[in-house]
Amino acid sequence: MRLSELEAVVESLLFISGEAVPLSAIAQTIEMDKATAKAIIHTLADKYESEKRGIRIVELDGSYQMCTAGECFEYIRNMYKSPNRQGLTQALLETLAIIAYKQPITRAQIEEIRGVSAEHAVSKLVEKKLVCEVGRMDTPGKPIMFGTTNEFLRYFGFKSIKELPPLGDVQESQVQHEGNDLQV
């Protein structure tokens, strides 16, 4: 199969999936090794980027997904007349940061760190699909443990949770960017 045909197959797989597809599944489907499959995906992603296309291929923790280009968001929103995204409150941001850096973590552990109830904040973050249930702790009561989602990675532009900045950088950045609203 020629490179252009392989690109077309990969493009179709990503388009039809609608979700992140593991590299191993793509490689197996096109009957190539992972390195070759990854090279094909990156070639496609580079083409979309250089041609200023309306779609992008993003990497999410070893998987790949086709998404709309960020610069097209306003046009898409206008077409569907969706309301503006609501920003995250300070409480939601704090809770999200705790979950991102300490995952998996229970609501009680979050409350211990924040010193206030986290029930509402965790519920809102689950509703916004930024965090999800990742299991249960093996202790009495089996409390739910939470972690971040692919939507969290996609929104913040991370390929994996390992790309989170070190906590020292976060604290310095927070001081520099105080007052900026995060939109979700």
Per-residue model confidence as pLDDT tens digits over 69-99? 988 888 887 777 644 556 788 999 999 999 9
Range of the domain at 34: 3-73
pTM: 0.58
Residue 49 lies in a domain: yes
Residue 184 lies in a domain: no
Residue 98 lies in a domain: yes
Is the domain of 68 the same as that of 124? Answer: no
| Residue 173 burial class via C-beta count within 10 angstroms: exposed 0-12, middle 13-18, buried 19 and up | exposed
Residue 40 lies in a domain: yes
CA distance readout (Å), 3 to 37, 84, 88, 125: 11, 41, 44, 42
Residue 109 lies in a domain: yes
CA–CA distance, 118 with 143 (Å, rounded to integer):
14
How far is Cα of residue 130 from the mean position of the Cα atoms in its chain? 8
Q: Largest alpha-carbon pair distance within the chain?
A: 59
CA–CA distance, 109 with 148 (Å, rounded to integer):
15
Residue 170 lies in a domain: no
Is the domain of 67 the same as that of 104? Answer: no
pLDDT of residue 183: 42
Is the domain of 59 the same as that of 107? Answer: no
Is the domain of 53 the same as that of 102? Answer: no
Is the domain of 94 the same as that of 30? Answer: no
Residue 85 lies in a domain: no
Positions of the chain with pLDDT under 50? 82-83, 172-184
Count the domains in the chain: 2
Helix (H) or strand (E) holding 153: helix 150-156
Is the domain of 57 the same as that of 103? Answer: no
CATH code, domain carrying 126: 1.10.10.10
Is the domain of 98 the same as that of 159? Answer: yes
- Asked whether the beta carbons of 86 and 184 are under 8 A apart, the reply is yes
Is the domain of 67 the same as that of 100? Answer: no
CA–CA distance, 96 with 110 (Å, rounded to integer):
10
